[in-house]
Amino acid sequence: MSRGSFVFTPMALRSLELDEDMLERHKYKKKLASSHLNNYMLKKEARAPLRSNTALPPAVCQDVVIQNALYTGDQEALQRLFPRGSTANLIIEPQGGDMRWVATGEGLWSLNYEQELTTPLHITAGRGFTDCMRLLLQRGANVDLAPGGTTALHESCENCQPECTKLLLIHGANANAVSEDGVMPLHICTSPESLECAKYLLQYGAAINGRTVDENDTPLHVAAKNGLPDHTELYLRYGAAVDKQNDEGLTPLNAACSQTQVVQDLERYFKVCQMLLGKGAVVHTVDQDQRSPLHMACKNVNPDIVDLLLANGACVNDMDYGGEAPLHDILKVVCYKVSHHPERIVRALLNHGSIRVWPGALPMVMRHCSESPRTIEVLLNAYSHLKVTDTWVESVSPEVFKEHKEFYESVFSLALTPRSLQHLARCRLRSFLGGRVHKVVPKLDLPTFIKNYLLLEYRGYVH
């Protein structure tokens, strides 16, 4: 071995070989990109109507100075780079693109190029550089050019840039352009900040019931999935179909109920469901797994939506393909959603005549739901007799028992004491009324505290 040299390990040599292969693939991809661009332009020319003065096809630009001016929104630089008489109808091909480390197997990592064709309009539209966009449009930039698979209008809507969206539409951008992912600009309006973009799209002819290619979602599905009440109200005002089903069998109502919701999102999703039901959405529509909106609202623990669905005729004992009723769905997730007040849902379901848990499974329910004593209280008060054993005691962890000692002592004391006569009378009346408890009890000529007792109000103990 000569001085100053060193030995490459087999792994290092293999890594170098992979990097060399990667560079070769990158060169090949650049050729493919160029071929793709040529094919794209041929197709565009074939689709374009004949005009007396056909515009020149866009040129490919790799100029870093132009790219820097676009990405920084430097209008003065763009005015110098695109003087009057020049064209801004360009396709930007970034020099090399971004690079990232990716695993290649056998414990090796290699640098890989990320490169996507774009246009000056895409860059400025996504960043809200309206003045730069206006200059580019004056210099002949094509509003519907989509070399990377999306138009500049998709880009402005995705990044919630209403002024850019409006400007593109004024200059003839297609409000119903479909990206290579099969979505229209209206489907990309997925956040509250995108409302103004959605308004402009509809004003310029966006299809209110346009479908995505992959899932067959309408814009109303998208608004419902993302808990967007303002978008929902807007789409309903424009005549959105309230009960269209997508490929999974979900209507917008099902879609809203099926989304995982944190505490701060509960009210937004409730408002969406309220609007949909106000426009006649059907509460009984089920998805491919026979899961109704009530199943989904219970699984995601939104008490207000559950109350709303029940008030609109949802059935508490409908079974999905797995043979589970809504009560099963809520009990499975109580331990994860204590802050959502799952006890409200359990109470509402039982007051509407829900089937109860098999008594032999109550220790298991105690184990999973012990962190929500109110849920346990409501559930246990639906039974006239309970057989409390040592298994019940073992189901509650010492930490939870210590935190809710008074309540669990009242539960475990039932091993030696029968239920009170008052409770037995409550159970008898509830059994007689069945699923009419929630309707009949409020109408009885009884003191309020007795009505609440019959409706399983929480007391912090059982007796």
CATH number for the domain harbouring residue 81: 1.25.40.20
Write the secondary structure of 273-331 as one string of H (helix), E (strand) and C (coil).
HHHHHHCCCCCCCCCCCCCCHHHHHHHCCCHHHHHHHHHCCCCCCCCCCCCCCHHHHHH
Contact 338, 376 (CB under 8 A): no
Query: Rounded CA gap, 383 and 428, in Å?
Result: 10
Based on the structure, what is the number of domains in the chain?
A: 2
Give Cβ neighbours of residue 412 (< 8 Å, ≥ 6 apart): 388, 392, 393
- The pairs formed by 211-216 with CB atoms below 8 angstroms and a separation of 24 or more are 212/182, 212/183, 212/184, 212/187, 213/178, 213/181, 213/182, 213/183, 214/181, 214/182, 214/247, 215/246, 215/247, 215/248, 216/246, 216/247
The low-confidence residues of the chain, meaning pLDDT below 70, are: 1-56, 94-115
Q: Where in the sequence is the domain holding 141, given as residue range(s)?
A: 59-98+113-207
Within a domain: 306: no
Which of 164, 184, 207 is at the close of a domain? 207
Q: Is residue 443 part of a domain?
A: yes
Q: Which residues have CB under 8 Å from 432's CB, separation 6+?
A: none
pLDDT at 19: 63
pLDDT of res. 117:
86
368 found inside a domain: yes
pLDDT of residue 350: 97
Do the strands 59-61 and 90-92 form a parallel or antiparallel pair, or are they unpaired?
A: parallel
From 181, 207, 233, the end of a domain falls on: 207
Residue 125 lies in a domain: yes
pLDDT at residue 256, rounded to an integer: 97
Residue where one domain finishes, among candidates 207, 242, 260: 207
